[in-house]
Amino acid sequence: MMFKDFFGTEPSVRASAPGRVNLLGEHTDYNGGFVLPTPLPYQTHLEAAPAEGLEVYAENFGERKSRGLDEPKQGDWLDYLAGCVWVLRQHGYPVAGLRAYVWSEVPMSGGLSSSAALEVATLRALRELYQLPLDDVQIALLAQQAEVEYVGVRCGIMDQMASSVGRLGYGLFLDTQNLATRLAPLPEGYRVAVVDSRVPRRLAESGYNTRRSECEQACALLGVRSLRELSPADLPRINALPEPLNRRARHVVTENQRVLDGVQALEQGDIRRFGELMVASHVSLREDYQVSIPELDLLVEAALRHGAVGARLTGAGFGGSTVALVEASRYEDFQKGVLQDYPRAGFL
């Protein structure tokens, strides 16, 4: 089924946007830091036409929902589309609504930014439908604003930027302080393996918000506006902070450096080095940022045991997925080995 079968008319526009996996730079985006995500070859798609209010069929849920523009949000999937219409109207764009048929290849709740993909795809459809003068960075910012202010999740800008301006086959090196980007080619002959722990993210939202406020407390004690202002040279001051603020700030500062080093390693084709940085990132997320769980640690260890040059948890943590870099020729053995050690693993 598609828009036409469902609504009886042809759609006016089609739009898509991908999910992402983050290679390096975790929990740095809301600290003004560096990140290195890459888009996935899995997208969310919309076929759409203009309408008054919202009328949407979501194939993945087998559900049709409608809502007037003045009706409140309801804590469901339609909020993501309603939030996009809402945010455009907040900015004064004359957007009356949307009729859409939506389907997604991005796995949901695996920490692969299915929500950013839906928001960016929806905004792309609305941009075309209403001929809005928006570039891709503006689309990412609007998607983030919809998620923070309408849906109510206090996320950073990484996921929306990866979905909106990332390019398949490249790491998107993003400075979240000024949104400057550079594409770093992913190594040929290697595969980026995304392995789902199949552990639903537990307490992810409260854990995420606690980490954010711990970073703010660390800033206040260190007398900086953002942890971005600090570098590894500041580690002695950081280490002197009370627990757990010392750990939180140490993760962010060392993680920023790992992204800088990682981009350089990619550009120099030094894949071993890149793999070591991924592992160091995981250790820091486990020991200092404390957002890993035993299942993610097991998966990372299994990945390294079975030939990955690097592996780490990806996304916010507390469950969700891991990412590993594996030589293409060793991928099958890798997959078999990881499944032996962790039978629940879900390979993308």
Which residues carry out catalysis? Answer: 159
Burial class (CB in 10 A: 0-12, 13-18, 19+), 88: buried
Q: How far is the CB of 159 from ligand GLA (least distance, A)?
A: 5
- Among the listed residues 255, 266, 209, the one whose alpha carbon sits nearest the alpha carbon of residue 38: 266
Torsion of CA 109, 274, 160, 132, to 10 degrees: -140
Q: How far is the CB of 337 from ligand GLA (least distance, A)?
A: 28
**In whole angstroms, what is the distance from residue 73 CA to residue 67 CA?**
9
Torsion of CA 248, 251, 256, 262, to 10 degrees: -160
Q: How far is the CB of 285 from ligand GLA (least distance, A)?
A: 9
| Count of C-beta atoms within a 10 Å radius of residue 41 | 10
Q: How far is the CB of 29 from ligand GLA (least distance, A)?
A: 5
- Among the listed residues 37, 16, 59, the one whose alpha carbon sits nearest the alpha carbon of residue 176: 37
Burial class (CB in 10 A: 0-12, 13-18, 19+), 167: middle
Q: How far is the CB of 28 from ligand GLA (least distance, A)?
A: 7
**Interaction site with ligand GLA (CB under 6 A):** 26-27, 29-30, 155-156, 158-159, 315-316
Q: Which is nearer to ligand GLA, 29 or 47 (CB)?
A: 29
Query: Does a cis peptide bond (omega within 30 degrees of 0) precede residue 18?
Result: no
- Three-state DSSP state, 194: strand
Q: Which is nearer to ligand GLA, 159 or 288 (CB)?
A: 159
**Which residue is associated with the tokens 């392995």?**
195
Q: Which is nearer to ligand GLA, 97 or 156 (CB)?
A: 156
Q: Which is nearer to ligand GLA, 15 or 316 (CB)?
A: 316
- Three-state DSSP state, 271: helix
Torsion of CA 90, 93, 113, 47, to 10 degrees: 140
**In whole angstroms, what is the distance from residue 314 CA to residue 194 CA?**
9
Q: How far is the CB of 331 from ligand GLA (least distance, A)?
A: 26
Burial per residue of 281-293, b for 16 or more beta-carbon CB atoms within 10 angstroms, e otherwise: bbebbbebbebbb
Q: Which is nearer to ligand GLA, 67 or 258 (CB)?
A: 258
Let me know: does 255 contact 288? Beta carbons within 8 Å. Answer: no
Tokens representing 107 are 């796995």
Q: How far is the CB of 237 from ligand GLA (least distance, A)?
A: 24
Q: Which is nearer to ligand GLA, 245 or 285 (CB)?
A: 285
Q: Which is nearer to ligand GLA, 245 or 316 (CB)?
A: 316
**In whole angstroms, what is the distance from residue 73 CA to residue 96 CA?**
17
Query: What are the residues whose beta carbons fall under 8 Å from the beta carbon of 223, sequence distance 6 or more?
Result: none
